[in-house]
Amino acid sequence: MSKRTRYWLMKSEPDDFSIDDLARVQVEPWTGVRNYQARNFMREMQVGDGVLFYHSNADVPGIYGIAEVACTAYPDPTQFDRKSKYFDEKASREQPRWELVDVRYVRTLKRPIALDDIRAQADALGEDFALIRKGNRLSVLPVTAAQWKTLLSLE
DNA sequence: GCCAACGTTGGC
DNA sequence: GCCAACGTTGGC
């Protein structure tokens, strides 16, 4: 990996795991990503990378907090757990399919940055910003330094 | 709860 | 390798 992305956006359904939950536990393994593109982004992550914590399927979808990458990627244990909803019968310990990183709480935004506000900045963010591309469903995506700055200026 | 958009699966 | 069927995501 020659080029390093320093910033990311990670989605979570707050009913499942919210920024408040992360504040309580401080560090959390980001289990359950079952999309190859999202997994590959997590493989690129390095300790200390900045993470925008996004609430999807929320009353007001948007960015609610800041976190950071706490370790590099390792196999997601839920893929081996028959009782987990994330169990994947095609994965084995010898040949894991899914990886994750641990995420550490940094802070909760004073005011969440709503998806509507993010869309209003589409020009500044650029058309390639995956979060606001039509039909986007990616749950882990890279953010440039400029996008990070633009987004946090909306807080 | 609906549904558009997208990824994955599997038959051929 | 194509593509229809199916499942999932996520905004509304």
- CA/C1' separation A36–C3 (Å): 21
* CB burial string A123-150: b at 16+ within 10 A, e below: eebeeebebbeeeeebbbbbbeeebbeb
* Segments forming the whole domain that contains residue A15: 7-145
Mean pLDDT for A34-43 is: 95
pLDDT score for A110: 95
Number of domains making up chain A: 1
* pLDDT for the residue A14: 96
Question: How many Å apart are A43 CA and B9 C1'?
Answer: 25
Residue A47 lies in a domain: yes
Q: Could you tell me the pLDDT band of residue A128, with boundaries at 50, 70 and 90? A: confident
A1 in a structural domain: no
The answer to whether residue A2 sits within a structural domain is no
Q: What is the mean pLDDT of residues A50-60?
A: 97
Task: Judge whether residue A36 contacts strand B, using its CB and a 7 Å cut-off.
Answer: yes
Nearest DNA or RNA nucleotide to A57 (CA to C1'): C10
Does A53 reside within a domain?
Answer: yes
Assess if residue A151 is contained within a domain. no
CATH of the domain at A111: 3.10.590.10
Closest by CA to A100, choosing from A18, A16, A12, is A12
The whole-angstrom separation of Cα A76 and Cα A81 is: 10
pLDDT band of residue A92 (cuts 50, 70, 90) is confident
Cβ-proximal residues to A40 (8 Å cutoff; 6+ apart), any chain: none
Would A30 be classed as within a structural domain?
yes
* Statement: the CB of A137 is under 7 Å from strand B: yes
